[in-house]
Amino acid sequence: MIIVMQKNATDDQIKKVCEVVENAGLGVHISKGSDVTIIGVIGDRRKLADKPIELMEGVEKTVPIMEPYKLASRTFRPEPTVIKVGDVLIGSDEFVIMAGPCAVESREQLLEAAEIVKKCGAKVLRGGAFKPRTSPYSFQGLGEEGLKILAEARERTGLPVVTEVISTEAVEMVAEYADILQIGARNMQNFQLLKAVGRTEKPVLLKRGISATIEEWLNAAEYIMNEGNFKVILCERGIRTFEPMTRNTLDLSAVPIIKHISHLPVIVDPSHGTGHWRWVTPMSRAALAAGADGLIIEVHPNPQEALSDGPQSLKPENFMLLCEELKKIAPIVGRRI
Ligand code: PEP
Ligand code: MN
């Protein structure tokens, strides 16, 4: 439920309403718009059944949130959420490029990739230390050793780091090293894992499940937010369809839809979304034009030798060209890089 205050409501009136809500054992989230203030009520609104909120001074009306996801909805918070990671503002007019290899393979590989993506204009470094692979015989990642290498790359380049966490037991450890915790597509409905990252204070990059609807995806975000962590960045990474020419079908229509129904930032992963480096550049341009808040792109110093996702990884020179293009397009669509 949200409580919409009157246009001329005073700070004191807002405070009193919040007190009533909190005394009923519920949380509040205040959104101060240019026109009106909205108080989002966190928790079961039935606890307010005997509290005549609508009769309180300064209150315009109360509105139930009809969507199954509450905290992630635009109704709950009308203005966009902006998430600060280092000096980067995800969800603002800044278009944030995250890039790096699929997996941390060695110190040399990751440090080289980090220097390259930074030089081209990436603001966040990606790299998986724990890899959720389709086959148990594929490279599974370097684990904590990989996290240490990521931390060293951050130290050297100043780039914050996004890396995946695949188990509840590892959340604490990964959170010690990472600036953004990535929840992979395969784990989008791993509710225990969602709750565990929701109990941390780190921003969470929540990838869309391979066959998840937008509503299921927002409900997954809700699991994280319901634990108190509102710093959720959604990531469209393609869904499984009947089309075999691409690894997944990149659902770019999800971008404007999410922007309309949720306040959370949304970025696009054209690497997993297409599965082939050749389609990464055009889909990146399209993602920027569609209103995404950023991209996460796989870049490898030498894709032919990559231990995972080589075919969809950009070579440094192609990533450089892509960033140059995006820098030209961004101002046309009201963004800056
Ligand atoms: C990845 O980012 O390398 C990855 C495994 O992504 P997804 O979970 O989207 O498949
Ligand atoms: Mn990958």
Ligand 1 geometric centre to CA of 24 (Å): 42
Ligand 1 geometric centre to CA of 320 (Å): 22
| Alpha-carbon distances, residue 64 vs 69, 239, 299 (angstroms) | 12, 32, 45
* pLDDT of amino acid 316: 98
* pLDDT of amino acid 252: 98
Average pLDDT, the chain: 96
Residue 182 CA, closest ligand 1 atom number: 2
Question: Which residues, 6+ apart, have CB-to-CB distance to 213 below 8 Å?
Answer: none
Ligand 1 geometric centre to CA of 325 (Å): 25
Q: Which of 131, 161, 272 maximizes ligand 1 atoms within 8 Å of its Cβ, making it the mutation to test the pocket?
A: 272
Based on its alpha-carbon atoms, the radius of gyration of the chain, rounded to whole angstroms, reads 21
pLDDT at 148 over 90: yes
* pLDDT single digits (tens) 267-293: 999 999 999 999 999 999 999 999 999
pLDDT at 11 over 90: yes
| Residues, the chain | 337
Ligand 1 geometric centre to CA of 36 (Å): 40
Ligand 1 and 59: CB distance under 6 A: no
Query: Which segments of 149-263 are extended strands (E)?
Result: 161-164, 180-183, 204-207, 232-236
* pLDDT single digits (tens) 217-254: 999 999 999 999 999 999 999 999 999 999 999 999 99
User: 3-state SS of 16-51?
Assistant: HHHHHHHHCCCEEEEEECCCCEEEEEECCHHHHCCC
| Alpha-carbon distances, residue 106 vs 76, 98, 297, 302 (angstroms) | 44, 19, 19, 13
* pLDDT of amino acid 33: 85
Ligand 1 and 265: CB distance under 6 A: no
Q: Tell me if 55 sits within 8 A of 32, measured CB to CB.
A: no
Residue 183 CA, closest ligand 1 atom number: 8
Residue nearest to atom 9 of ligand 1 (CA): 185
Q: Tell me if 190 sits within 8 A of 214, measured CB to CB.
A: no
* pLDDT of amino acid 324: 98
Residue 126 CA, closest ligand 1 atom number: 2
Ligand 1 geometric centre to CA of 63 (Å): 38
Question: Which DSSP category does 121 fall into?
Answer: T
What does the alpha-carbon distance between residue 298 and residue 113 come to, in Å, rounded to a whole number?
10
* pLDDT of amino acid 45: 85
Around ion ligand 2, residues with a beta carbon closer than 5 Å are 102, 309
Ligand 1 and 198: CB distance under 6 A: no
Percent pLDDT > 70 in the chain is 100
Residue 308 CA, closest ligand 1 atom number: 3
Q: Which residue type is seen at 268?
A: V
* pLDDT of amino acid 34: 84
Determine phi and psi for 333, rounding to 5 degrees: -105, 20
Ligand 2 geometric centre to CA of 184 (Å): 10
Residue with tokens 């550049």: 281
Ligand 1 and 259: CB distance under 6 A: no
Q: Which residue type is seen at 219?
A: N
What does the alpha-carbon distance between residue 62 and residue 95 come to, in Å, rounded to a whole number?
35
Burial status of residue 3 (CB atoms within 10 A of its CB: 0-12, 13-18, 19 or more):
buried
Ligand 1 and 272: CB distance under 6 A: yes
pLDDT band per the 50, 70, 90 thresholds, residue 35: confident
Residue with tokens 């996290």: 147
Which residues on adjacent β-strands are paired with residue 299? 314
DSSP 48-69: GTTS-GGGSTTEEEEE---SS-
Ligand 1 geometric centre to CA of 25 (Å): 39
